[in-house]
Structure 1
Amino acid sequence: MAVFQIKIKGMVQGVGFRPFVHKLASEMKIDGRVSNGSDGVLIVCEGSELTIQKFYQTILNKPPQNAIITFADIIESKQSVEKGFKIINSIPGNFSSVLLTPDVAICPSCAKEIKDLQNPRYRYPFTTCLNCGPRYSIAEAVPYDRANTTMRTLEMCSSCISEYNSIENTRHHSQTNSCPDCSIPMHLFDFEGNVLSTDCVEILNFINQKLEAGKILAIKGTGGYLLMCDANNENTISLLREHKNRPSKPFAVLFPTFQRLEKDVFVNKLEKEALLSKEAPIVLCKVKKEINSSISFQKIAPGLVKLGVMLPNSPLLQLIAEDFGGPIIATSANVSGSPIIFRDEDVIPNLSGIADFFVSYDREILVPQDDSVVQFTKNKQKIILRRSRGFAPNYFPVPFQPQNKAVLALGADLKGTFTLSKKDLLFVSQYLGNLENLESGMAFDTTLAHISGIVDFKPEVVLADLHPNYYSTQKAVALSENLNIPLQKIQHHKAHFFSVLAENDLLDCQEPILGVIWDGTGFGEDQQIWGGEFFLYKNGRMDRAFHLKYFNQISGDKMSKNPKLSALSLLQGLDKFKELLKGDFSEKEWSYYNKLPKNGNLLKTSSMGRFLDGIAYLLDIKSPNSYEGEAALKLEALVSLGKEKFTNEYYPFEIIENEIDFHPILFGLILDKISGEPKEIIAEKVFKTLSIMIAEVCELVGVEKIAFSGGVFQNAVLCDMVFDDLSTNKDLYFHKNLSPNDENISFGQFASYVNNKQADKLGKGFNNKIKQTISCV
């Protein structure tokens, strides 16, 4: 008999890989051992070559359901093997090539157990097994063993130890195993921090009673605390908005079952699959506007037509939701603009003015994670709106060759993420909030330090945005100086384009590719604010080809908060229509804002985000943006989502040299409004115009491939129109595993770095020289 060594890399720790190997080896009567190592799972086994090859192929072809294998190797070994097969202690090492397992939503088996009166884990809120439970949020180090998690101080009872050691049990070597006899301690506090109960049964009953009584509770979830209340109690929802300083941003709603959820929203096949997946994200679904709806929709998602819905992702949330029986608001516990609160000691000091009661437990969360959010377009395009719990921090498959230097990309500020790469490792962090906020910056630093510690990462190159005042850029500069390592800055929108190119394996494409990169803001190479950009990419070179005609950036960042400033700026070239806005400004404001362009010192912007804000205001969506993209979302909501067929009408525009003049669009829009054209028709024509604009630019430059990125492409209506207009004769590329918004910037910065290392070898590439004037009417 020969001895073989098998090495498996990838997401193979925290997914039940060792128990799976142990059971398979025992069934095949193979002697040997399996352990977690510093770079994956290591198996040493003895048997005939035919048997071991069958064993090896079975491991590769039928691994545990949550595993991802990125590398596998088998060689003969001179090691000795004892009789039988066993799991041995993990082998220590200085560097890990292990993908970090995301937190996994409660599996059907555990969900069934906590509802079974005869089961020892009946109504136990921390039930987990090999296939589900917290992973990334509690891992302090690798290898993934209980001693390296925040459960290390919680000892298993004899029953759990028996399960842990039993090869036939679904909790065989489950590192998060616990039960009512060795329960994770649970705590209930009032808003002053007084302990009201530590009894699990009492606490669950108390939660249900207080939800029914219209109270707001802060309850510890997998990635942080959630604020929860009755989704049909309008007074409580209004109170939550007031206390949270969240006047109109939509809340997510938790339903106890999929069947219950279907009563309030339409759910297609893709949406259902996402809701029931192991990631269990929030999914945006169209609301059924029925008289007997059990939710106060206009209080939950004012001015919108879609609702963010979710199913329980943990046993605690399942018990709470099923006890209550109806929909529950479940929103990140924070004050608007701050990151989700995840540390126990921060809860009462920060939320005592918002929540009435607090529920905690003694399983520490190490990094903050909001719930992930996704939606699907009519044409089955998946759009990730927030990539966090369940998806982060892995990125797989990696579209790059292993790098010989450790690279850290720090992204942008509005939707903070970072990307780090070392050899064959690539991690893209979860969404970490707006880094202009002090608490978000601290959460960003905490998460970076956490992942860096786990994978023994020290950057040798640091990448950043061009914007000099971004927190992420300033952090990159400081790291560069302190560690004496190179710093490279990448323009914001080019990073967007590089990101979607890399996601679709197009970095080496020899054909020219048009990049349509539309968002709210990004510091341009000409020191202006970009955001309505068309780039051309060929042979590794990226050039700005066209952009939305510049308009004035009035009052800096105030413009993103107040759409009427965008409307005023857009109309400054149409003076007779500008007077339509005069009544919306005080006399002092009107005088001030109209004098600003005359001083000649205003920044200019090509932002498609601000353009759509202005359009929304002209269509009487006039409230200030209380959250990012509010006006544009409400503009999208004017168009009937899910329409089988969109209008063929659109507004004229002109392409003059490298600028797209939008004034004809405004002229047509205002004439339509004056003539009494319904606002939903005007809004639809606006989005159709943008789709036609893309088509015209595409024909002008003569490309067959178009890639899309930037926050504007979170708009499902626009994406569907583009798909309808262009997919029959063009190759369209959207993001797959990342959001189109600024969360993908750090990944794009890294893609740019990889690309630039090869650019000189590929030549100077393509440089746009088109100088034409085209009228589109």
Structure 2
Amino acid sequence: MSTPTDRRPAIRQALLIHGIVQGVGFRPHVARLAADLGLAGDCRNDSTAVIIEIEGEPERVEAFIRRIVDDAPPLARITSVTATRTEPRGDAGFAITASTPGTGPRTMVPPDAATCAACLQEMFDPADRRYRHPFISCTDCGPRLTITLDLPYDRHTTTMAGFPMCPECAAEYADPAGRRFHAQPIACHRCGPTLSVVTPDGRTVASGAESSIARIRALIEAGEVVAVKGLGGYHLVCDAGSDAAVGELRRRKQRPDQPFAVMVCDLAAAAELVELPEPAASVLSGPEHPILLLPKVSGSTVSELVAPGLDELGIVLPYTPVHHLLTGSGRPLVVTSGNVSGAPICVDDTDARNRLGAIAAAFLCHDRVIAVPCEDSVLAWTPQGPVPIRRSRGYAPLPIAVPGMTADPAPAVLAAGAEIKNTAALARDGQVFLSGHIGDLGSWESHLAHKTATDQMLRFHRRSPELVVADRHPRYASRAWAGRLADGLGVPLLEVQHHHAHLASLAAESGALEEPILGLVLDGTGYGCDAGIWGCEALLLGDGGTSATRLGHLGDVPLPGGDAGVRNPVRVAAALLLAHGVDLAGTPVAEELSDAERRLLTAAAPARVGWARTSSAGRLFDAVAALVGIRHRITYEAQAAVELEVAARHSDTVVPLRFPLRGSPGPVVLDPGPLVADLADAVRAGVPAEVLARSFHDALAAGLAELVAVLAQRHHPSAVGLTGGVFGNRLLTALLRQRLGATHRVLTHHQVPPNDGGIALGQAVIGAATLARRSGASSNSGHRQPR
């Protein structure tokens, strides 16, 4: 073939390609495209970008630049292409050259991707050399983030470095025409990694793919609970159709009610368990393969113990070759995080045996180290599409682009995140990078996981923060850690009020940070600017997201006994009734309270001794759930609220309930007193719990809509935002959309969770905006807390 220089005068362009362009088959894509167009040059990774030198006829070079974007590999995400004209060199061909370290902001680490169709076809082809290989992957799928030790992304900077390629794999790795050209996790039966089955006391009882899979499947079919090492950590697995197996898992894990996810072999199997519209099927089977919450269908073979009291199942498809081998029998499997209560997911083999040895009968292990722990992502399906509940595997560490944030090289901001459902975040150059789900920071192990995650984030991005941001709660572990880090780095610490961060998170992902947004922020708890417990707030976001003004809130809901009250919604219900002079007699609250509880609450009521005050919507949901007889004691966070929503979805009947506004001028208050009085009367009149649950949702939506109407008339917001963990309640969200949609632009979450898993994004953008304002013309208008 003649080169472009034989036909017309050549030009040469130096290209810098930024984005997710390493670990996704981008250099092989570039090399094949150059060969197709008869162009010369080379490409290489450095830690900041893919660098390409391309030479040939001008029209072909232009076509090359256009097609590297238009025909990019499935997992690539290009954020910018910079081209610089250079002198032609007369190169004779195109080559992929060795990676270099590079300087400046680093490129993005790609997330893990589910096994692709091409690899699955090979995996189940008896004639293929990777037949039933438990680690099959290619440039379009497989582990990425969870095996990455450092950048640039090459085999020696991953945990695959300890597995030398066999001659066949090395040949595929070097073949530009193949699907595994420069695929860093390339492997086969011959060169590893390998599977084994180990007992809790460390004895290996099976090794190799076939015997290990057979041993684990036999244990599952016999009703045992097993632990399986996945991409980002261990899972506990059992037969989802067996009451005995699921019940034993609950007993051993001390998780009596919280729902488990179910893994099924394919979409057809999923459709036998849940309602599965085509758009939801596309989300379920995308490269991320999240757990997706979908309505149950009747006649399911899954045990009722998998999701007791709920009308939805969390469904996930197999996303690793091991999963495909385990689900090959068609048996649905419970797949839940391999951890003990309050601790992060286990990733180390010895640690897993030590912590999970009392739960799992055996451990399906492999010898590839997990570099970055990563939990499964969880999404909820709505008519508007999926809403993140937990953003982790498949999505982390993809950045959130924030319109309005400085896109030029800007100071980095590290956000510590929330105390529960923790994620951390790093803001740099117009984007915010969120860690995977870390969890609740209530244990030493969780604190260590949080520190490890933030250390990895800073190492991957090669940035040291110039500002650290944390929740302003004085007793949060995340706040203490952030303070120590800021002191050690000699940089400022910015404390951000919890609900302000929620609203900034929603505004950031909606591209509305520069707008005056009226936010309804509803959740369980957040430290308020008056040192009280907030949780149902109307805030006006302003000053580019750096200020939030408290315009309204829920009236006081008493919380007797602090955390003990949270665990016992019946006590909150009793205190709320007593505080508003409502007799407990004839309600489920009176029946459920012990004599001791009733005496203590009644005696404390006049002066509210030992009762915290809160404006928490979460506690109001708890109280109503107990008052109408749905849930009196909880075993997991938000259980009462979730079951109240489930009951409400089973009724279309609404009885009137008063939920008036009071307190003008000044913050407008939703008064819960008339609401609970009406509910108590309705309970005594025999109105069914489902009807009252639906009526409460309708009354709350009506009250919030009225609050918005009053405040919008005064402050003229450009949009109304719905955020906070309570807006994981899809019924309430839908009812508010109906009431607000005709007169307001309504913002809801679609990129990060409305719960505390999205807090770090809000903290990060507030921090970045505060730095930008301090260094710009508006330096006097820094961050202001709600007031």
TM range (shorter): over 0.9
Matches within 5 A, 1:149-228: 149-228=158-237
Alignment of 1:255-404 (within 5 A): 255-290=264-299, 293-296=300-303, 298-322=304-328, 324-377=329-382, 379-399=383-403, 400-402=405-407, 404=410
Which amino acid in structure 1 is aligned with residue 261 of structure 2? A
SS in 2 for 1:345: helix
CA, structure 1 residues 79+420, in 2 after alignment: closer, same or farther (shift >3 Å)?
farther
Q: Does 1:758 align with 2:768?
A: no
Q: Is this contact kept in 1: 2:262–2:332, CA < 8 A?
A: yes
Q: Distance in 1 between matches of 2:208 and 2:78?
A: 42
User: Following superposition of structure 1 onto structure 2, how do residues 127-142 of structure 1 map, counting pairs within 5 Å?
Assistant: 127-142=136-151
Determine if the alignment matches structure 1 residue 630 to structure 2 residue 639: yes
Kindly state the Cα deviation for residue 620 of structure 1 after the two structures are TM-superposed.
Answer: 1.4
Distance change in 2, residues 1:768/1:710 (3 Å): closer
Deviates more, 1:329-338 or 1:628-637: 329-338
Tell me how far apart the structure 2 counterparts of residues 344 and 78 of structure 1 sit (CA, whole Å): 54
Q: Could you say which residue in structure 1 is the equivalent of 2:670?
A: 660
C-alpha distance in 1, partners of 2:682/2:641?
A: 19
Q: CA deviation at 1:310?
A: 0.7
Task: Give the match for residue 700 of structure 1.
Answer: 710
Partner of 1:25: 34
Aligned to 1:65: 74
- More displaced stretch, 336-345 vs 2-11: 336-345
Q: Residue 585 in 1 paired to residue 593 in 2?
A: yes
Q: Structure 1 unaligned segments of length 5 or more: list them.
A: 771-777
When structure 1 is superposed on structure 2, of 403-412 and 139-148 the one drifting more is 403-412
Pick aligned residue for 2:567 from 541, 561, 581: 561
- CA spacing shift, 1:110–1:607, aligned 2, 3 Å: same
Contact 1:99–1:425, Cα closer than 8 Å, also in 2: no
Structure 2 contact 628–679 (Cα < 8 Å) conserved:
no
The 1:197/1:299 distance shift into structure 2, 3 A limit, reads same
Give 1:100's match in structure 2, choosing from 71, 87, 109. 109
Identical-pair percentage? 33
User: Per the alignment, do residues 522 and 404 of structure 1 end up closer, same or farther by CA in structure 2, a change over 3 Å counting?
Assistant: same
- Contact map agreement 1:38 1:92 (CA 8 A) in 2: yes
1:711 aligned partner: 725
Quick one: which of 538, 563, 568 aligns to 1:534? 538
Could you tell which deviates more after superposition, 143-152 or 623-632? 623-632
Q: Which letter does structure 2 place at the counterpart of 1:65?
A: P
Contact 1:343 1:365 (C-alpha < 8 Å) held by counterparts: yes
Q: Is the contact made by 1:497 and 1:515 (CA closer than 8 Å) also made in structure 2?
A: yes
Distance (whole Å) between structure 2 residues aligned to residue 286 and residue 667 of structure 1: 33
SS in 2 for 1:300: coil
Which residue in 2 is equivalent to 1:670? 680
Other structure's SS at 2:475 match: coil
Decide whether the 8 Å contact of 2:660 with 2:703 is kept in 1.
Answer: no
CA distance in 2, matches of 1:49, 1:303: 66
Which residue does 1:515 correspond to in 2?
Answer: 519
Residue in structure 1 matched with residue 750 of structure 2 by the alignment? 736
Measure how far apart 1:585 and its partner are.
2.8
Change beyond 3 A, Cα 1:533–1:425: closer
The separation in 1 between residues aligned to 2:781 and 2:660, in whole angstroms, is: 30
Output one character per residue of 1:340-367: Cα deviation in whole Å (capped at 9) or x when no partner: 1111221111111000010111111112
CA 1:647–1:273 in 2, change beyond 3 Å: closer, same or farther?
farther
Question: What is the deviation of 1:722?
Answer: 1.4
TM-score normalised according to structure 1 size:
0.94
- In the superposition, the TM-score normalised over structure 2's length comes to 0.93
2:93 alignment partner, one of 47, 68, 84: 84
Separation of aligned partners in 1, 2:615 and 2:510 = 27
Contact 1:340 1:368 (C-alpha < 8 Å) held by counterparts: yes
> Whole-Å Cα distance in 2 between the matches of residues 583 and 679 of structure 1?
15
**Aligned partner of residue 180 in structure 1, secondary structure:** coil
Q: Pick from 463, 469, 478: which aligns with 1:457?
A: 463
CA distance in 2 between partners of 1:151 and 1:769 (Å): 49
- Name the stretch that deviates more: 69-78 or 87-96: 87-96
1:571 alignment partner, one of 571, 577, 580? 577
For the 8 Å contact 1:226–1:332, the answer to whether it is kept is yes
Q: CA deviation at 1:129?
A: 0.4
SS at match of 1:444: helix
- The amino acid that maps onto 2:278 is K
What is the CA distance between 1:424 and its match in structure 2? Answer: 4.9
Alpha-carbon separation, structure 1, partners of 2:439 and 2:675: 34
- Alpha-carbon shift at residue 600 of structure 1 (Å): 5.4
Q: What is the CA distance between 1:302 and its match in structure 2?
A: 0.7
Q: CA deviation at 1:622?
A: 2.9
Q: Distance in 2 between matches of 1:405 and 1:764?
A: 18
Check the 8 A contact 2:507/2:517 in 1, yes or no. Answer: no
Q: C-alpha separation between the residues in 2 aligned to 1:577 and 1:108?
A: 63
Q: CA deviation at 1:327?
A: 0.5
Give the equivalent residue in structure 1 for 2:56: 47
Counterparts of 2:582 and 2:195 in 1: how far apart (Å)?
A: 66
Partner residue, 1:418 = 424
Match of 1:12 in 2: 21
CA–CA separation in structure 2 for the residues paired with 1:270 and 1:640: 22
Alpha-carbon distance change, 25 to 544 in structure 1, aligned in 2, over 3 angstroms: same
Displacement of 1:294: 1.5
Q: Conserved in 1, the CA contact under 8 Å of 2:502 and 2:724?
A: yes
1:707 is matched by which residue type in structure 2? Answer: G
Tell me the secondary structure at the aligned position of residue 400 of structure 2: coil
d(CA) in 2 for partners of 1:479, 1:769:
25
Residue 703 (structure 2) pairs with residue 686 (structure 1): no
Cα deviation per residue 1:419-465 (whole Å; 9 max; x = unaligned)? 11234553111110100122221111111112222222322211110
Letter in 2 for 1:325: G
Take 1:447 and 1:683, find their aligned partners in 2: how far apart are those partners? Answer: 41
Structure 1: how far apart are the matches of 2:419 and 2:571? 23
The CA distance in 1 between the partners of 2:704 and 2:680, in whole Å, is 23
1:603 to 612, 617, 621: 612
Cα distance in 2 for residues equivalent to 1:404 and 1:615: 48
Matched, 1:2 2:16: no
Q: Describe the SS at the equivalent of 1:578.
A: coil
Aligned with residue 244 of structure 1, among 248, 253, 262: 253
Query: Cα 1:401–1:443, aligned 2, differ >3 Å: closer, same or farther?
Result: same
- The CA deviation at 1:594 is 3.3
**Mean alpha-carbon deviation: is it higher for 585-594 or for 715-724?**
585-594
User: Which stretch has the larger CA shift, 253-262 or 434-443?
Assistant: 434-443
CA contact (8 A) 2:413 2:768 kept: no
What's the counterpart of residue 3 of structure 2?
none
Contact 1:97 1:424 in 2 (8 A): no
8 A Cα contact 2:398 2:433, kept in partner: yes
* Alignment CA distance shift 1:763-1:506 (3 Å): farther
Supply the distance in 1 between the matched residues of 2:416 and 2:245 (Cα, whole angstroms): 39
Distance across 1 between alignment mates of 2:293 and 2:110: 25
After superposition, the C-alpha distances for 1:679-717 in whole angstroms (9 at most, x for unaligned) are 111111111112112210121122462101100000111
d(CA) in 2 for partners of 1:558, 1:415: 20
Change (3 A) 1:472 1:79: farther
Gaps of 5+ in 2: 1-9
Counterpart CA distance in 2 for 1:526 and 1:218 is 46
State the shift of 1:538 in Å. 4.0
From the superposition, tell whether residues 550 and 428 of structure 1 become closer, same or farther in structure 2 (CA, over 3 Å): same
Given residue 672 of structure 2, which amino acid in structure 1 is its aligned partner?
F
Aligned position for 2:449: 443
Structure 2: distance between partners of 1:37 and 1:764: 40
2:214 and 2:104 map into 1 onto residues whose CA distance is: 46
